Amino acid sequence: MGARKYKEINCEIALNQLKRRMPYSWDLNIYRGCEHGCKYCFAIYSHEYLGSDNYCKDIYVKTNIIEQLEKQLSSGNWKREIVNIGGVSDSYQPAEEHYKLMPEILRLLIKYQTPAIISTKSDLILRDYDLINELSRITYINIAATITTVDEELRKLIEPGGVESNRRFKMLKTFRETNASVGLHVMPIIPYLTDSFKNIDSLFNKAKESNVHYVLPGTLYLRGKTRRVFFDFIKKEFSGLYNHFLALYKTGGADKDYKNTLYKTVNLLRDKYSLSSSYSKPMKEKLKKIE
Ligand code: SF4
């Protein structure tokens, strides 16, 4: 895969401070746009300001991000807060095979003892196992995979550029050998497609087998361009469900009764497999230890 299909750009800063203080308050995105091309991608809106309508094909690469990151991390003002790597794009999408920017970023995080969160739909992250292992021994690092279904045919339709779900589970299991906090994000649970008891049971079962620290579920949310892209996809691939989705998604979130019923199932299965949903407690404990 050559670099020519990618658009190289310069960034002025690497770390963006978030308005909302989540468990993290800084975001770092090497790439804008994401080749994984998930049909439910919440981040499609973030491409508009780049003047592109093609979120999964027009991929922008911040090729000077390493220099900019070092400037920020080496500044006397840096308080070693948690950095979310890849808030609006996957840092281990295929472009990363070519640009290899993540290893340099991890080296800087190690040098400046900066905690981080990485969520990915690719096992390319295993390439950087040694660096993540090293980082996990000096500060908090969270490695998460988003996995929505065990049905590979369906997975290819809804996340065409991501790697197989089984490979993502294997990746999580491998990172359990480090000191990283490891989690499964079952996000989004898509009504009619991935919300069956059987699918959620299988995902939780595999999460248990992979020995993850926690499982975080979330329902599908459809706003702005994501709504249009998702409804076009349903019309094309599951036309019989189109009207059902319209009825369920009168607004951005699913109908309240639907969500209540779904979370009963989720909670039942979480108890069945004794899986935690909390990643903030171990995070606070570890950060306290290294203060
Ligand atoms: S991996 Fe994440 S950022 Fe990339 S297309 Fe899928 S949902 Fe969007």
pLDDT digits (tens, 9 = 90+) for 240-285: 999 999 999 999 999 999 999 999 999 999 999 999 887 666 666 6
Burial label for 1, CB within 10 Å (0-12, 13-18, 19+), is exposed
For a ligand 1 pocket test, name from 27, 29, 32, 36 the mutation site with the most ligand atoms within 8 angstroms of its C-beta.
36
Contact 65, 105 (CB under 8 A): yes
CA distance 42 to 229: 10
The DSSP letter of residue 241 is: G
CA distance 159 to 190: 12
146 phi and psi angles, rounded to 5 deg:
-90, 125
Considering only 40-54, 75-89, 113-127, which range has the smallest mean pLDDT? 40-54
Paired tokens of 233: 């996809």
**65: CA distance to ligand 1 center in Å?**
20
**Average model confidence (pLDDT) across the chain:** 92
**268: CA distance to ligand 1 center in Å?**
28
The pLDDT confidence band at residue 4, using thresholds 50, 70 and 90, is very low
3-state DSSP call for residue 90?
coil
Strands 26-28 and 15-17: antiparallel
- Domains recognised in the chain with CATH numbers: 7-290 (3.20.20.70)
Cβ < 6 A, ligand 1 pocket: 34, 36-38, 41, 43, 89-90, 121
Could you tell me how many residues make up the chain?
Answer: 291
Q: What single letter denotes the amino acid at residue 197?
A: F
Q: What pLDDT sits at residue 114?
A: 97
CA distance 50 to 122: 25
